[in-house]
Amino acid sequence: MAAMGEPRSRKMARRGARREQRHAKGSRTLRRVLSWVPEVLVVLVVLAAVGNVQYDLGHRWFGLPATDPDSHPAAVLPPEGLDLPAGTPAPAVAAALTPGSADPARVRSALTHLLADKRLGKHVDMLVTDLSTGTVLFQRGSGSVTPASTTKLLTSLAALQSLGPMTRFSTRVVAVGDRLTLVGGGDPFLASTPAAAKGRYPARADAQTLARRTAAALTAQGIRQVRLSYDATLFTGPGMNPNWPAAYGPDSVVPPIRALWVDEGKVDHRFVTDPAAVAGHSFATSLAKAGIKVVGPVRAGKAPADAVQVAEMKSAPVGEIVQHTLTVSDNNAAEVLARQVALKVGTSPSFSGGTTAVFRVLDELGVDLAGSRIYDGSGLSRRNHLTPTTLLDVLRTAASPEHPTLREVITGLPVAGFTGSLQERFDDGPTAARGRVLAKTGTLTGVHGLAGVATDLDGDLLGFVIIADRVSVPNTLPARHQIDLMAAALGACHCGRPKDSPVS
């Protein structure tokens, strides 16, 4: 039997081989199936996430927290059973503007008849450019003008460029043992009390809160009695500019510019002759109210090099200071900013050092300074001379997409008929211009001007400077009004080049 048939061992070997083949084939199939598992799991996870976002399944099926309406308002589902109709796009509230190349002929037509008013005086300079390209669209006069407060545009641009819009200035209290020094850091808006700071823009640090923080730190060290001095040495040079009229001090036009003051150096609505001393004594009073006795006289003195910091308060950021300075034409803040630029650049933090630093920063930005000269940061000096080209270069640089950190020079400009020094102007003339003109005012006796930007009715962004600096006193209001009308004419103008007009 064994001889006639296949040996049993051979049969068993063939069966084993077939089993191994089937096992190997099954293993390959299993491996192929398993290789798809990660991809399938990824698809399922994505589908689950989409389903949860779109249908809030995690909350409805598994009791997970519902979608947060504060962080993901668009993902919040309507209540069950609510049938909402399909939405339709809302109609446009205004025609879309297509910025283009403004037509010099149309700009000239809008302005020429207004410039003929003799009440503007014998010296009127006007320059209008396409702000995006720098193309001159209209020009009247040449040379330089007395810029008055349009000078603040230069100071503001230099401050933003050199310091950065987020920089803050510190007012500090330092100590060696029980000897305290209040150190001014050049905060232009430091208030005396929280009440004096309340509701103000930008938000103000205040000396009384600084005194409370100081008292808390001293009490923790077991100190209840101190001697106090104040340090305003961060700024140098005279407090009053020798290029200003001597009457500016007695007439309370501006305070001495110091690195330490409260309430901008005012007491009972008048500027004081020694704002740093007033700040020091105000701080001493606040310390006493907070439980720290001040013994001996409160005197000026430089903080010791080895003093340690006890407390500190920081100013608003530079960007907000610039906006406020331009909106309300704050002379004091402008002068402080010029000194802060000097400190950053490395010139003396004085009137002369500040103007040197401002021009150095502007020159590095590529602003055309030929024919221009300034003696302060605010524009109070009649010796200042700027060309319209310099002013427009400042505006164009601030508006450029290449310099986003300089934009507060534009956003801080007063809006015609709405904000700041233009709030109560532009009430006569084309109504279409209200809100379309943003400009820095410039006013001294006999000097009236605007420098800013206007968006015309065709969407063209126009930079302009209009300054009349030989206006007789009786013509003060008529001249100012005429300048307003010229700026308004740009905002209310269809100055865009006709589509079929060749570009020259």
- Mean pLDDT value across residues 195-200: 93
Asked if residue 503 belongs to a domain, the reply is no
Least confident of 32-36, 232-236, 252-256, 327-331: 32-36
Asked if residue 25 belongs to a domain, the reply is yes
Distance CA 265, CA 284 (A): 16
Return the H-helix or E-strand segment holding 195: helix 194-197
Least confident of 83-97, 148-162, 418-432: 83-97
Q: Where are the alpha helices (DSSP H) in 350-496?
A: 351-365, 388-399, 408-411, 476-491
* 329/191 same-domain check: no
Asked if residue 238 belongs to a domain, the reply is yes
| pLDDT score of 499 more than 90 | no
* 405/481 same-domain check: yes
Active-site annotation holder among 101, 132, 144, 149: 149
| CA angle in degrees (0–180, nearest 5) for 346-385-108 | 125
* 120/175 same-domain check: no
Percent of the chain topping pLDDT 70: 82
- Mean pLDDT value across residues 262-285: 96
Asked if residue 83 belongs to a domain, the reply is no
DSSP string of 22-69, one letter each residue:
HHHHHHHHHHHHHHTHHHHHHHHHHHHHHHHHHH-HHHHHH-PPPPPT
Active-site annotation holder among 132, 152, 162, 192: 152
- Mean pLDDT value across residues 412-431: 89
* 357/307 same-domain check: no
More confident residue, 57 or 69: 69
* 378/487 same-domain check: yes
| pLDDT score of 169 more than 50 | yes
Residue 152 catalytic? yes
pLDDT at 323: 97
More confident residue, 99 or 282: 282
Asked if residue 344 belongs to a domain, the reply is yes
- Mean pLDDT value across residues 268-288: 96
* 281/385 same-domain check: no
* 430/448 same-domain check: yes
- Mean pLDDT value across residues 91-98: 64
Asked if residue 199 belongs to a domain, the reply is yes
pLDDT at 76: 72
Domain of residue 181, CATH code: 3.50.80.20
Please give the distance of CA 350 from its chain centroid, rounded to a whole number: 24
| pLDDT score of 177 more than 90 | yes
pLDDT at 214: 97
Least confident of 71-85, 224-238, 349-363, 367-381: 71-85
Asked if residue 448 belongs to a domain, the reply is yes
Host domain of residue 42: 14-62
* 224/340 same-domain check: no
Domain count along the chain? 3
* 471/335 same-domain check: yes
Asked if residue 364 belongs to a domain, the reply is yes
- Mean pLDDT value across residues 451-478: 96
- Mean pLDDT value across residues 269-285: 97
* 388/332 same-domain check: yes
Distance CA 186, CA 201 (A): 17
* 109/236 same-domain check: no
> Comparing C-alpha atoms, which of 471, 479, 460 is closest to residue 131?
460
Q: What average pLDDT is seen over the chain? A: 88
Active-site annotation holder among 229, 329, 352, 372: 329
